[in-house]
Chains A and B, each alone.
Chain A
Amino acid sequence: MAMRNAYIDQFPEEARVIRAALWSSFLALMIGGTLGLIQGLHRTNVLRFIPSQDYYTVLTAHGVLLVITFTIFFLVGIFTWAVTTSLDRGVKDIRFTWGWYAMMSLGTLLVGVSILGGVVDQIPMNADVLYTFYSPFQAHPAFYVGFVLFVVGTWLAGFDWFRTWWAWKKDNPDERIPLPTFMALTTMLFWYLSSIGVAISILAFLLPWSLGIIDSVNPLLTRTLFWFFGHPVVYFWLMPAYMLWYTMLPKLSGGKLFSDPLARVVFVLFLILSTPVGIHHQYLDPGIAEGFKFIAMTNTMFLLLPSLLTAFTVVASMEHGARQRGGEGYLSWLKALPWRDPAFTGMALAGLMFAAGGFSGMINAGLSINYLVHNSWWVVGHFHLTVGTAVALTFMAASYWFIPQLTGKEIWNRSLGLVQVVLWFIGMTFMSNAMHRAGLFGIPRRTAEPQYEGFSFDPAVGTVAEIDAQVALGAALLTLSVYLFITNMVLTTIGGSTSDAIPDNTYAGTLSGPEDSPAIIDNLKLWTSIAVVLVIIAYSLPLASIIDAGGLFGPGIDPWKPSVVVDPSLVLESVRGVMP
């Protein structure tokens, strides 16, 4: 056998866990995408085959499966690849690795079944709470327990990567942290910091409330705790995509990463700034003073910086690659890029759409202009460009490189892969553009039937019917794209033949390496402390005033006399009451 050096040859055990994680992710994508089509057709009244009452069950499943299950399972797989590859050592104990994977899967199962209960009579559960799940919506306890298991699973995954790095550091005391590991670790640090918010929200309030242990909660408090986590989670989705843009795109373009120090600065900025901005999702919430919202807006605008730095660095690296391949001229070098490669083209198109998403995001982020688009379909258009394309399309594109690495097999049909990523771009252009436009003239999001009697929306150009047609067309193309992707992956994995021609498992080299940056950049403790201080500044006063005004458990409810402490048998009673 030829000397093949793919990931599966270097780390066969880890490759199995990563494969399992990616397949969990793909399954969620397939189901979630199908539900997206149902929503798109239902809302536009092109085809309605579910009763509108079931719409929220579908929408909850779509949201949770895509932005929690699909993205995060992919993340844990890819970060495991990044850490082991760049440290050139396996995880400490593969049983532990399988352990967190199993925990995340169990959590997903509980969440999935409880949501499914909304449409299947045989399952006596209900969790039509949307993926944001703050009160006053209440889910079956299994939903919250599943969610907690899933998140704790990711915490353990992070611990797995940290201890692999600690072991490496012992052997290499004077070396800089390799870039992919640096990216995974900084991402995990802000994930730990921010998921504390959702953990408190669930364990202290929502779960006891759903179990009947406490009678009420303070809705504004659970909302604020959710968004404490809910904004950083968007960067949790995005960071693996950024990592792929920094470490894979330059390599696929045939060149090197323009600047390693700049990439590190970007990830440090995300670590510091991801969390103290969540209140920008609550610009319209009464009960939070404008001043706090203004602080959140300022921090948010600073967050544009690392994304602009990324755009610059990644495009510069691509240009370097193109010139290595013989590209010339001001713009003609673009022709020298490997457009036939679905991994490259998908990631490049994803980055392009992210630029558009960034622009509509700036509108969302402005405290005053946000009133124009808040809770409208504009917002849905926005995040289908960001998480729905920048992240999702990057993940699909990267799979055309990773699945051969993890299976030792060639992609079943690369041309189909190219068609698939291009189809996503076209479908999303139609769907997302029309959603943005719809939002501008006031069509709301999260509604099964957005048409009203005695009232009609007034588009600036064209008609509502044309907008609806674009959404339905876009949704159909996107779903087709998902199915082409899944087909390709399945046939590669089960049908594909093992090949010796799989490229070596490497990532991009750098034009300017880590030695060009001061060592302080690698001081994770320092950046984490700054992040914590910023969070305290941004959140302590708002939280204090929310609790002061509305009570920990709702207005006028004395938190120190919860009924359960008085009579434990009541707890048992209430637990039994909700058991299926």
Chain B
Amino acid sequence: MRISKGGLLVIMAFLTPLIVELRTVLSWFGIRLSVVETGALGLALIVAVLIWAMWPSNGDTEAKLA
């Protein structure tokens, strides 16, 4: 783990506003996502963050923090 479990939980929570409003932002560029597409994109983001968090960090120094 790269970060603590608590930290991971907070990052996940923080993704919510990003995902919700990403749709609005994209619409300014003429990209209109449906709810399902937004959900899929959100899921992809969550998986990406999970992979990043689980990936063993080199040296393992950071994992000791927090």
Which A residues have a C-beta under 8 Å from some C-beta of B? Answer: 325-327, 332, 335-341, 345, 349, 356, 418-419, 422, 425-426, 429-430, 433, 437, 460-462, 466, 470
Contacts and interface: CB of A to CB of B under 8 A. Distances in A.
What secondary structure prevails in chain B residues at the interface with A?
helix
B62 A335 contact: yes
Contact of B65 (A327, A356, A461): A327
Interface string B35-66: 10000000000000000000000000010011
Contacts of A422: 9-10, 13
B33 to A, nearest CB: 9
A433 B21 contact: yes
B17 A429 contact: yes
B16 A429 contact: yes
B55 to A, nearest CB: 14
A551 to B, nearest CB: 49
B6 A326 contact: no
A336 B4 CA distance: 9
B6 A461 contact: no
Contact of A339 (B4, B16, B27): B4
Contacts of A326: 65
A461 B27 contact: yes
A340 B62 contact: no
B2 to A, nearest CB: 8
A446 B7 CA distance: 38
How big is chain B's contact interface, by range? 20 to 34
Nearest to A423: B13
Contacts of B4: 335, 339-340
Majority secondary structure of chain A interface residues (helix, strand, loop or mixed): helix
A461 B32 contact: yes
Contacts of B32: 461
A462 B9 contact: no
Contacts, number: 62
A345 B5 CA distance: 12
Contacts of A340: 4-6, 66
B13 A335 contact: no
Contacts of A437: 24
9 contacts: A335-B4, A339-B66, A345-B6, A349-B10, A349-B13, A422-B10, A425-B16, A461-B27, A470-B20
A460 B16 CA distance: 20
A439 to B, nearest CB: 14
B3 to A, nearest CB: 5
A61 to B, nearest CB: 29
B17 A337 contact: no
Contacts of A335: 3-4, 7, 62, 65-66
6 tightest Cβ-Cβ pairs between the two chains A and B? A339-B6, A340-B6, A339-B7, A461-B27, A429-B16, A422-B13
Contacts of B66: 325, 335-340
B17 to A, nearest CB: 5
A13 B61 CA distance: 47
Contacts of A418: 6, 9
A25 B16 CA distance: 29
Contacts of A461: 23-24, 27, 32
Contact of A430 (B3, B20, B24, B35): B20
Contacts of B16: 425-426, 429-430
A151 B35 CA distance: 48
A470 B23 CA distance: 14
Contacts of A339: 4, 6-7, 9-10, 66
A544 B13 CA distance: 51
A339 B65 CA distance: 11
A327 to B, nearest CB: 7
Interface string B10-31: 1001001100110110010000
A516 B4 CA distance: 38
Contact of A462 (B3, B7, B23, B62): B23
B7 to A, nearest CB: 4
A416 to B, nearest CB: 12
A430 B6 CA distance: 21
A460 B9 contact: no
B6 A425 contact: no
A449 B5 CA distance: 43
Nearest to A334: B7
Contacts of A470: 20
A339 B6 CA distance: 5
Contacts of B3: 335
A325 B7 CA distance: 15
Contacts of B6: 338-341, 345, 418
Nearest to A461: B27
Contact of A460 (B20, B27, B65): B27
A460 B23 CA distance: 11
B12 to A, nearest CB: 8
Given A433-B21, A461-B24, A466-B35, A336 B9 contact: no
A63 B16 CA distance: 27
B35 to A, nearest CB: 6
A419 B21 CA distance: 23
B45 to A, nearest CB: 15
A432 B9 CA distance: 21
Contacts of B27: 460-461
